[in-house]
Amino acid sequence: MKKKTALITFVCLICVAAMAQQPQQQSQSQSQPQSQPQRRRPQIDYNARYAVKDIGIHDPVMAKEGSTYYLFATGGGLSVMSSNDGMETWKFEKPVFEERVASVRDRIPGWAPDIIYHNGMWHIFYAVSAFGKNTSIIGHATNKTLDSSNPDFKWEDQPKIIESIPYRDMWNAIDPNLIVDEDGTPWMSFGSFWDGIKLFKMTNDMSAVAEPQEWRSICSRQRDFNLDDANPGDGAVEAPFIMKHGDYYYLFVSFDYCCRGKNSNYKVAVGRSQKVTGPYLDKEGKDMAHGGGSIIVEGNQDWAGIGHNSAYHFDGKDYFIAHAYSMADNGASKLVIREITWTADGWPVVEW
């Protein structure tokens, strides 16, 4: 009953978020309200290169500590699941936060987390926002371990990282992603809509933006200049994730709209750069900062849309983690895990 209650609470929170968002056709990685689905388990062929788990989820990221995998996702207090059998079955853990957090104005964190291990600590970054607005904050918490049975387990809230304010900022402080470059320097990418995806260097302890501050635009799509600055606009891009493979950094982003059930048209685009700061060029050589981006996965007859992905190297394989909207389950958002393969010239392939 605890698992079922947690899942129902999670779905309800996402639906409330999407109801506030739908009138302006905006996307901030929250789910649209759905009619009550007929719950049924699809026929799934599990193997190393194809895995769709019948788990309702949004904005999944993953970590591994010891032999245990952990999923973190959007949900009140930040949802957590764990797997001890190589990502085949998952169980709910307690959320990261069960109470309000002072550093984000006494609100409960809930959006689009990212998790990374750095300098002996686990760091989780997350967004708190008013829906459809860039009144957003990226928060930060740390823990010595992800194992809740360990005596050292405790999520410690840290000061916020950044905040976006309407009519001051043409960016939105949501969807954080962290990467540490080959020199050991941490960088945060983040953002959605407005002027697109931003990147900045962080302090070595990941507690703040490094000084002097240099903010770079690494991905954007054309925006109607007639729109009010407080409007997210129609340059539909969000959810950056940077992965290093070989000589390149790969920037994954989500184009178009999530959170509309069967009407979602979310898709994932990618570009690459030999420097973490970019420019990230697509397969045609177009800069993602100027509208480029090569689509690697999108909706099909079984899945309306797929996006807000993360990407990892675990146990000798590369994995693509995302959520997708199941046509067989009334547009419900489900966890997707796929193996990434690579072309001879170094581009990621996700069979879909």
| Per-residue model confidence as pLDDT tens for the chain (352 residues) | 444 444 434 444 444 333 333 333 333 333 333 333 333 333 333 333 344 568 899 999 999 999 999 999 999 899 999 999 999 899 999 999 988 888 888 888 889 999 999 999 999 999 998 777 899 999 999 999 999 999 999 999 999 999 999 999 999 999 999 999 999 999 999 998 999 999 999 999 999 999 999 999 999 999 888 999 998 888 999 999 999 999 999 999 999 999 999 999 999 999 999 999 999 999 999 999 999 999 999 999 999 999 999 999 999 999 999 999 999 999 999 999 999 999 999 999 998 8
Q: Report the distance separating Cα 284 and Cα 8, nearest Å.
A: 44
Q: Domain limits at 222?
A: 2-35+44-349
CATH number, position 14: 2.115.10.20
Residue written as tokens 């949900």? 75
Predicted TM-score (pTM) of the model is: 0.85
String of DSSP letters for 262-312: GG---EEEEEEESSTT---B-TTS-BGGGT--EEEEE--SSEEEEEEEEEE
- Tracing tokens 């957090």 back to the chain, one arrives at 101
**How many separate domains does the chain show?**
1
Beta-strand relationship, 136-143 and 317-326: unpaired
Active site residues: 59, 238
Where are the strands (E) in 57-110, listed by range?
Answer: 61-65, 68-73, 79-83, 91-92
User: What b-and-e string marks burial along 6-23, b requiring 16 or more CB atoms within 10 Å of the CB?
Assistant: bbeebbebbeebbeebbe
Pairing of strands 61-65, 68-73: antiparallel
Q: Name residues whose C-beta falls within 8 Å of residue 211's C-beta, 6 or more positions apart in sequence.
A: none
